[in-house]
Structure 1
């Protein structure tokens, strides 16, 4: 029988003969140096079994890269989800909403509570806890968002209690009575309520590394502890709290304090932008811990609603938002035995809040100190 070595050489279409090896594998023609390179059945690019092509990544390395990428993706997804779940579990809740029929848009009521732990009676007759900060934030269905400061000494009708200062509603009936009073004053149904202890303001400021605040007058106020040289300064939590509390040394009284409170919250919001937190998980945890520790939400709200509130606050304090107070006609109105109060314009106030609700007011500052 014919053996492999006795087979004739193969012939190419052009007639050239190619030598054939004993095992059936072909040999390439000799190169310029006379050497011959064996060629296997799989062709010249096929490596030996178990080998690798020089320069190509190994299968094990590719698997490692894929595994690391998968872990990164999981971490990026799991961290914010876990942070939200953790934060949501830390938020305190209180009964606050009235259950009134909703009005168009979304309305938030933000308060800063200042507990009188010694049980003393304030000069205006309120006792126990009261609120020095009352902010109404409204997001209309269309139109600019509005952040309106309601002076704590605003003279209002308090349901089931008669006329008195607005902050007396909080002292007498806590969040539920304050919500009902604000709804009666503004004609807007409160959808979400958020309350922060004033001591917590300092903790939040410290958690973001301090803020820069501005006031254009020298101040040395013993009641609030605010000591200030006219201009802008970087402050810590203690100084920020005094900045927000000061009233008696301000010629604009409650209106001036409301302006500084809005400035403080805006400064904190600027320090907690997503871009400044995304690569700093330690700062995220510190901020959430400080904020939720001093924060109380209504019975129906959660951390997601709080995030929406923060976005709405940014919009309202931005160039396309509305900030200020309702129309004020008297900063020293004395209707009886409740002392000095702030009187709103009885004719313009309902029109003002209807425009806030409908989003028909143009962006900019509103209200403020009445002109003579």
Structure 2
């Protein structure tokens, strides 16, 4: 076996190992600190790169398993406009759009129906011609008249409503509604009230309507009370029954059993639901109360009118499209409004009629001296003055009684 070259400790190695220490063929020794040039990566693209070995643990221990670095989460991109994002975000927006369109259609319906109905409402000439009228007064006063004319009723309707076959124009209901700074005041004027009718002498007040219609009735009331009438509302004989049915009936509370063949009425005592025919009979009956007669009738008229007003403006009227349509289309056939009264003012009148009971208003009969329906001059003038000055809130509440008689008489 040949001897291998060796290092004898002198620093010189045999030429056989000169390549290991950078010696050339001549055996010269280069500078040991000379940097070794790196080869360019591009020079040998097929070269396999070796990753550096992580420092190990103690001798004999297993190297730690390689770990995969977790990706760093980036910011969540905002949803794109116009429906971007998940389906769960688009669906509520889609539904909200249809809810808005449905609401808009409902508002249009609520506004359009009364306007359409108003085009068919009768306009009544009611303002007196010639002569003097009271000056303008604070607040607003409406004259409400219930026409007892049968001219627009068929024979079957007269039989159903128990109206008889009387001809001509008459009125069973006369009321003044005053609204202003104080509580609303609904005052009934019994049709048998003895008053002076301009150009006709002394007679029952409903004769003024028979003689000269709304104009003469308005002139008579203004001349007798000194109260200026601002607006006129008239309801026909069949109108009350039709409106009651249109709102689904009303509640009435008779204080006694009422049986009146002339009014086609037969009801028990106590609160109960009434349809149109029953409500009309309840408001017309004057023979079921042997003590007060016509005075009780005007009290029932205020009760029915107030109950109808509450039903008309109840939330259910505006939620139920069928009821809303029927009610608005019932108005032209049942109501007439004075010239100069528009749909907004008519709505204000209807709203005021719902606020005549409890803390919101007062209901009473014009102060009378006796059951022959002569007005009490002193007490009635006090009430009329409060209405003329719009001082109903300061009026002596003892003036406002259901029968018109002093509380000392009625108890």
Question: Which category of TM-score, normalised to the shorter sequence, fits these structures?
Answer: 0.7 to 0.9
Q: If the length of structure 2 is used for normalisation, what is the TM-score?
A: 0.70
Give 1:83 deviation, angstroms: 2.0
Question: Of residues 293, 296, 303 in structure 1, which corresponds to 2:336?
Answer: 296
2:89 match: 57
2:403 aligned residue (361, 368, 371)? 368
TM-score norm. by structure 1 comes to 0.77
Which of 99, 120, 128 does residue 98 from structure 1 map onto? 128
1:349 and 2:394 aligned: no
* Separation of aligned partners in 2, 1:128 and 1:277: 35
Q: How far did 1:116 drift? A: 4.2
SS in 1 for 2:377: coil
Extract structure 1 runs of 4+ deviating beyond 6 A. Answer: 35-39
CA separation of 1:330/1:66 partners in 2, compared to 1, >3 Å: closer, same or farther? closer
| Conservation of the 8 A alpha-carbon contact between 1:327 and 1:345 | yes
Q: How many residues are aligned here?
A: 322
Of 182, 185, 190, which residue of structure 1 is paired with 2:224?
A: 185
Worse-superposed segment, 344-353 or 231-240: 344-353
Deviations 1:165-202 (A, max 9, x none): 10001111111111111111211111000000021111
Rounded to whole Å, the distance in 1 between the matches of 2:297 and 2:361 is 20
**Cα displacement string for residues 121-169 of structure 1 (whole angstroms, at most 9, x for unaligned residues):** xxxxx961100000100113x2222100000010111111111110001
Shift of residue 34, structure 1, vs aligned partner: 4.4
Determine if the alignment matches structure 1 residue 216 to structure 2 residue 247: no
**d(CA) in 1 for partners of 2:361, 2:75:** 72
Which residue is equivalent to 1:163?
202
1:369 Cα deviation after fit: 5.2
- Residue 150 (structure 2) pairs with residue 111 (structure 1): no
Of the three residues 337, 341, 358, the one matched with 1:318 is 358
Distance between the aligned counterparts of 1:275 and 1:318, measured in 2? Answer: 20
Matches within 5 A, 1:18-37: 34=68
Matched, 1:129 2:169: yes
Name the SS of the counterpart of 2:221 in structure 1.
Answer: helix
CA RMSD of aligned residues (A): 3.2
Report the secondary structure of 2:228's partner residue: coil
Q: Who is 1:335 aligned against?
A: none
Structure 2 residues without counterparts, runs of 5 or longer: 1-40, 46-65, 153-165
Asked if the contact 1:144/1:362 (under 8 Å) is kept, the reply is no
Contact 2:151 2:167 in 1 (8 A): no
Residue of structure 2 equivalent to 1:269: 309
**Would the alpha carbon gap of residues 225 and 68 (structure 1) be closer, same or farther in structure 2, given more than 3 Å must change?**
same
* Greater CA drift, 98-107 or 251-260: 98-107
Instruction: Give the whole-Å Cα distance in 2 for the aligned partners of 1:328 and 1:290.
Output: 36
Deviations 1:50-106 (A, max 9, x none): 996556635xx6874464244134214312221231132122111012373322210
Partner Cα distance (1:297, 1:171) in 2: 19
The answer (yes or no) to whether the contact 2:149–2:167 under 8 Å persists in 1 is no
* Mapped contact 1:115–1:128 kept (Cα < 8 A): yes
Question: Greater shift after overlay, 183-192 or 224-233?
Answer: 224-233
State the partner residue of 1:80: 110
Deviation at 1:276, TM superposition (A): 1.9
Task: Indicate the residue corresponding to 2:188 in structure 1.
Answer: 149
Note if contact 1:145-1:321 (Cα within 8 Å) is conserved in structure 2: yes
Within 5 Å, which residues of 2 pair with 1:218-297?
A: 218-250=257-289, 251-297=291-337
Residues 361, 45 of structure 1: CA spacing in aligned structure 2 closer, same or farther, 3 A cutoff? Answer: same
The Cα of 1:363 is off from its aligned counterpart by: 5.4
- Residues in 2 aligned to 1:36 and 1:168: alpha-carbon distance in whole angstroms: 102
**CA pair 73-161 structure 1, distance change in 2 beyond 3 A:** same
Shift of 1:299: 0.6
Q: Higher strand share goes to which structure?
A: 1
Tell me the distance in 2 between the aligned counterparts of 1:97 and 1:72.
44
